[in-house]
Amino acid sequence: MEIEQHVWGFTSEGEAILLYTMTNAEGAYVKLTNLGAAIVAIGVPDRNGKIEDVALGFNDFHSYFGDSAYLGKTAGRYANRIARGRFTLNGRDYRLAINNAPNHLHGGPKGLSEVLWQSRTEVNRVVFSYVSPDGEEGYPGTVGIEAVYDWNDRCELEITYYAKTDAPTILNLTNHVYFNLRGEGNGDILSHQLQLDASRYLPIDRNIIPTGEPAPVEGTPMDFRTPKTIGRDIEADDPQLGFGNGYDHSWAIDGWEKGKMRRAGMLYDPESGRTVTVETDQPDIHIYTGNYLDGIGINKQGKEHRNREGVAMECQLFPDTPNHPQFPTAVLNPDESYEARTIYRFGTK
């Protein structure tokens, strides 16, 4: 395994933005940056051995600031939405920034996706660290966080988040990478086949907030228990798809147990033969089909990003968990350690 590091650029304050490249024995690679502890690129082979970049990103570091699509970034302190930016913890009410009206999204306008993380390299990994101070974006407690990216010769990208807090808080971390297994800039993902190990999903309201308990996928466009193309039902006359202009939903992973890894699903592109299988210890896989990518900027191929040219497969807690006591808890206490792990296994068939 080879890890290279170079300076990608500098902030207006003169801070270095770093770019790391991890390359395995096959020549497959992962590129990361300390800006938002983000994935910039993932190069993996197709069925003929041709390596292409299958992760959406920008062609320069400037575009990663204020990125409304969170391309490849670490989302938090709370990934996904919190209704009206409000929650109650231990009898105290908290108010967060509204950056996805009327909701709080992915930690707010200056969340973990917008900060420069400290970084270091180890044998097969890059480790990013950040201390989020008490009150940052309205969240209680000072929280120390590590984002660990491991890459190996089997083309497995493992992402593990660790955290500790000095006061009760809520925490939900994930990476917001978007995949196009044909290669970035090579069209939409509607012909990709998606399979999810999930017999239930979370219905949402018009503000993309869960309405309550998970519901059966059977008989709905949300049924991916057997592989089907993303485009087959995405335009179906169904209110759920209308609310998000496509898929922007959470699926409850079958058989989830706290702290145990389970397969969540697989994405497959018949044209290239590439696959990515997802395993996680989180209860939810959130599928977002890039329904609002138009106009966000230029990709690494020099082309405009377009709607539905990537699909995010985010493993996390359920959206708005602090306001749904029946969901697996998002509370982190000082005597506890936070850990969230996801593996993306790339292959071909």
Which one of 176, 192, 286, 305 is the catalytic residue? Answer: 176
| pTM reported for the whole predicted model | 0.97
CATH code, domain carrying 260: 2.70.98.10
**pLDDT score of 329:** 98
Domain count for the chain? 1
CA 51 distance to own-chain centroid:
23
pLDDT in tens, 247-280: 999 999 999 999 999 999 999 999 999 999 999 9
Residue 71 contacts residue 36 (beta carbons within 8 Å): no
Among candidate residues 137, 184, 279, 314, the one labeled active-site is 314
- Range of 268's domain? 2-348
Residue-level pLDDT at 345: 98
Looking at residue 108, its pLDDT comes to 97
For the chain, residues with pLDDT lower than 50 are: none
Q: Is 314 a catalytic residue?
A: yes
